[in-house]
Structure 1
């Protein structure tokens, strides 16, 4: 599989996932004429409703990564001791 195909596949999967997970937010009011019409949402309200939680999740993961990346394991410096193989013959690798 070539790199452009992978990128297009990833972008398409992200687009489908975003569409599938955000369409349920449109059902924030009843669809019956018996109920009063809800107030109209502005563009900013829609951006916050559909993208706010996703952006917040990215920020949360980014902060978690920053906090945990500072404490990486650093192995001790190698010693000057020479380990001798048991017996008279050279070690076989």
Structure 2
């Protein structure tokens, strides 16, 4: 399931860029759950994000190819949201360079 590998990759890119932005106080985490994890400890935040990517890779490896329309909508929405977040990361990166 290529799409799950893609979402896992987008999640890791978001992790790296968000961690840099938060560590240097360039951005704020707007997701209340992830913000709480960051405030608890950055390693908790990183651990959860990595765990989510590993879970997606596991699912991609072991799930059969679902053809349900709802599955395509769900994964398409996830990709769209991650791309939007990465565009926002790109904006602040351009501003600091």
Larger Rg: 1
Question: Which has the bigger relative contact order, CA under 8 A and spacing at least 6?
Answer: 2
- Normalised to the residue count of structure 2, the TM-score between the two structures is 0.28
Q: Which has the higher helix share?
A: 2
